[in-house]
Chain A
Amino acid sequence: MTVAYRGVTVLEDFSLDVRMGEIMALIGPSGSGKTTALRAVAGFVQPTRGRIKIGTRDVTALPPYERGIGMVVQNYALFPHMKVEDNVAFGLRARKAPRDLIERRIDECLRLVGMGRFKGRYPRELSGGQQQRIAVARALAIEPRVLLLDEPLSALDAQIRRQMVDEIGKLHRDLPALTVLYVTHDQTEALTLADRIAIMHDGKLSSLGPSQSLYRQPPNRFTAEFLGRANLLPIRIEAVDRNAGLLDARFAGNLLKVSYDAKAQIGAEHLVCIRPHALRFAEDGARGNRINATVEEVQWQGDHHAITFNCGGTTLRLVTKPLRERLERGVVVDLTFDPDDATLIGAGG
């Protein structure tokens, strides 16, 4: 679908196929269109072109209250003038469900999110995390087929956030038929929870795939840099060995072996992406890739050391267990990595 407001295209030719029962994370920088996409699925934004289907049903022309979706937003939006149980019951009451069904669902959903004790309280008596759990219970009460989460944890403290990520994961396991579309700008949430991740950039879909594949083998430069930190080495292909599954790549004077990629051609210039934790110090005498680099900056960050190197003008970042000995600036060391950990990225990104 395409969404445009007053001449500004917010989403362009955006197509996404979310499988039933999966958690799909939509991530991207602000302005990438991820929230617009979510709201279009919810029905608050009308696409100027395209259709939206939930299951086999085309819902594009349907108002939000007929689509069978549940929505959880960043600031919870619990109705302050209603008790917790009335909040959870709201959707069912609006659809005129029978009273005993409502009572049953309230208890079920509150139990699902672990908030059964708070039935009779008012939202203002609850903490942020508790309110968000009620918001989730409220959305689940109407048994939606799709659950839409719009940056649900952004308003919470870091510690509560970690807890809630676990709880959402557990919820997903308890409700295997529920499809979840999760918009966030926090990669950790996405990497932890999502089955598949869709990365958005400037209103377009940049890449889509299972979280691990996207992380280990990013298909383009934006994905490499957005999902985790990346070292991007400019290289030139010198040899291609398809049988061994290796490429010979020249980087700043070093000849490296990286894993084979079909789009590699001899003489072509590409970028190779290596994650900081895939770089390590080379042992003396060991064979394999060697990069000769100069230490620029050493930062201790508690549970790891982050070291920045310079090699022929390119900055490399390495993350390692805390070093026993001090490493001085200006020292020249050899770095190594496994060919499998290096992914070729088209120079265009």
Chain B
Amino acid sequence: MADAALALRRPAPRVDWFWVVPPLTVIGLLFFYPLALIARQAFTGGKTGFTFDHFASVLRSRQFHSALWNTIEIALASSGGCLVLGFVVALIIAFVPFRGSRDAARFIDTFIALPTFLMALSFTFIYGSAGVLNGLLMDITGSNAPPVDFVYSIWGVILAEVTVFTPFVLRPLLAAFSLIDTAQIEVASSLGAGPWRIVRQIIFPAALPALLAGGSLCLLLTVNEFGIILFIGAKGVITLPLLVYDKAIQEGDYTPACAIAVINVLLSLSLYSLYRLVLAHFGGRNAGMV
């Protein structure tokens, strides 16, 4: 048996790279290439010559400022609401369990697969001027004008988004809670800690990674959300995606649409990086989807 000092290498590596090329080409052609063209349109306006002018005029417009501000405000408020609602519901399901609590969790989970605008649609039925709540209140108070009309404002959007995106906080939280050793809680109780203290000092720290991951995911999803804004159609509540749609389809003004889209995409990608950083920092124990 000759012991030749050969460094033998597996012949595999080159073959592996080969298999990556086709799907990469597909995604590249259908996603990255169009994205690059959007950027090009935003920087050239369809003519030759690289310029920031189109961005400048967009950044100066009041419409854009309002849309940007709305987008950020809605994202922050909705994500905050999701965190609160998700935390409370997860807390109850995990730590004050009842028969069928798993089914309740799974029921809420299925909402992830439903279109977001359905919630907006149902809101108009419930909270709209001709809706159930107003009908009830008008009957009770006997007034003629519908008292509740928050639905056609930014609050309607926020409420709808909280409803729709809470499952994205609920799922990782439930997963994190299932990993908490119940013995810890029992010992704490036996040592005299009341429920609030237990929540503050034992449960909340354990939930923090899931909260941060879920929260950053919600930020991303709410910034990207389009259907709810469109359906609620509240005057003055325009977000970046809706602005892009208006400019491109309603007004046929492609260059500003591209510029706004570039800004929108940059915002989304930063939030996505934040989300991935949070996941990487805490280790991927959160059941994130993207």
The reply to whether chain A is a binding partner of chain B is yes
B9/A51 in contact, CB under 8 A = no
A51 contact from B1, B7, B10, Cβ within 8 A: B1
Q: A126 an interface residue at 8 Å Cβ cutoff?
A: no
Q: B21 an interface residue at 8 Å Cβ cutoff?
A: no
B6 contact from A13, A49, A53, Cβ within 8 A: A49
B3/A47 in contact, CB under 8 A = no
B8: chain A residues at CB < 8 Å are: 46-49, 60-61
Docked Cα-Cα span, A198 to B3, in Å, equals: 20
A15/B7 in contact, CB under 8 A = no
Docked Cα-Cα span, A15 to B2, in Å, equals: 11
In the complex, which residue of chain B has the Cβ closest to the Cβ of A61? Answer: B8
Q: Enumerate B178-196 residues with CB–CB distance to A below 8 Å.
A: none
B4 contact from A46, A51, A53, A61, Cβ within 8 A: A51
A46: chain B residues at CB < 8 Å are: 8-10
B5/A51 in contact, CB under 8 A = no
Q: A253 an interface residue at 8 Å Cβ cutoff?
A: no
Which residue among A1, A51, A53, A60 has the maximum number of chain B CB atoms within 10 Å of its CB?
A51
Residues of B contacting A: mostly: loop
B10: chain A residues at CB < 8 Å are: 46
A49/B2 in contact, CB under 8 A = no
Would A53 and B3 be within 8 Å (CB), given that A46-B10, A47-B8 are in contact? Answer: no
Q: Enumerate A1-38 residues with CB–CB distance to B below 8 Å.
A: 1, 13, 15, 17
B8-25 vs A, CB cutoff 8 Å, 1 = contact: the mask equals: 111000000000000000
Q: A50 an interface residue at 8 Å Cβ cutoff?
A: yes
Docked Cα-Cα span, A46 to B9, in Å, equals: 7
B2: chain A residues at CB < 8 Å are: 51
* B side interface size, CB within 8 A: 10
A49/B7 in contact, CB under 8 A = yes
**Shortest beta-carbon distance from B109 to chain A in Å:** 27
**Shortest beta-carbon distance from A36 to chain B in Å:** 15
Which residue among B2, B5, B8 has the maximum number of chain A CB atoms within 10 Å of its CB?
B8
In the complex, which residue of chain A has the Cβ closest to the Cβ of B10? Answer: A46
* A side interface size, CB within 8 A: 13
Docked Cα-Cα span, A281 to B248, in Å, equals: 100
In the complex, which residue of chain B has the Cβ closest to the Cβ of A45? Answer: B10
**Shortest beta-carbon distance from A69 to chain B in Å:** 17
**Shortest beta-carbon distance from A211 to chain B in Å:** 24
**Shortest beta-carbon distance from A35 to chain B in Å:** 18
B9/A15 in contact, CB under 8 A = no
A15 contact from B3, B5, B6, Cβ within 8 A: B3
**Shortest beta-carbon distance from A237 to chain B in Å:** 37
**Shortest beta-carbon distance from B218 to chain A in Å:** 38
B7/A50 in contact, CB under 8 A = no
B3 contact from A17, A48, A50, Cβ within 8 A: A50
A47: chain B residues at CB < 8 Å are: 8
Q: Enumerate B1-53 residues with CB–CB distance to A below 8 Å.
A: 1-10
**Shortest beta-carbon distance from B248 to chain A in Å:** 49
B7: chain A residues at CB < 8 Å are: 48-49
A61: chain B residues at CB < 8 Å are: 8
A13: chain B residues at CB < 8 Å are: 3
Docked Cα-Cα span, A61 to B8, in Å, equals: 8
**Shortest beta-carbon distance from B168 to chain A in Å:** 33
Docked Cα-Cα span, A137 to B9, in Å, equals: 33
Docked Cα-Cα span, A50 to B5, in Å, equals: 6
A48: chain B residues at CB < 8 Å are: 7-8
A49/B5 in contact, CB under 8 A = yes
A53/B1 in contact, CB under 8 A = yes
Docked Cα-Cα span, A1 to B5, in Å, equals: 9
A17: chain B residues at CB < 8 Å are: 1
Which residue among A1, A13, A17, A50 has the maximum number of chain B CB atoms within 10 Å of its CB?
A50
In the complex, which residue of chain A has the Cβ closest to the Cβ of B8? Answer: A46
**Shortest beta-carbon distance from A333 to chain B in Å:** 49
A57-92 vs B, CB cutoff 8 Å, 1 = contact: the mask equals: 000110000000000000000000000000000000
Docked Cα-Cα span, A60 to B6, in Å, equals: 11
In the complex, which residue of chain A has the Cβ closest to the Cβ of B5? Answer: A49
Docked Cα-Cα span, A17 to B4, in Å, equals: 17
In the complex, which residue of chain A has the Cβ closest to the Cβ of B7? Answer: A48
A60: chain B residues at CB < 8 Å are: 8
Docked Cα-Cα span, A17 to B1, in Å, equals: 9
Docked Cα-Cα span, A47 to B10, in Å, equals: 10
In the complex, which residue of chain A has the Cβ closest to the Cβ of B2? Answer: A51
Docked Cα-Cα span, A47 to B3, in Å, equals: 11
Docked Cα-Cα span, A317 to B9, in Å, equals: 50
A51: chain B residues at CB < 8 Å are: 1-4, 6
Docked Cα-Cα span, A46 to B13, in Å, equals: 13
13 A-B pairs whose Cβ atoms sit less than 8 Å apart in the complex: A1-B3, A15-B3, A17-B1, A47-B8, A49-B3, A49-B4, A49-B5, A49-B6, A49-B7, A49-B8, A51-B3, A51-B4, A60-B8
Q: 20 extra interchain contacts, Cβ-Cβ under 8 A, other than A49-B7, A50-B3? A: A1-B3, A13-B3, A15-B1, A17-B1, A46-B8, A46-B9, A47-B8, A48-B7, A48-B8, A49-B4, A49-B6, A49-B8, A50-B6, A51-B1, A51-B2, A51-B3, A51-B4, A53-B1, A60-B8, A61-B8
Return the 3 tightest CB-CB contacts between A and B, nearest first. A46-B10, A46-B8, A49-B5
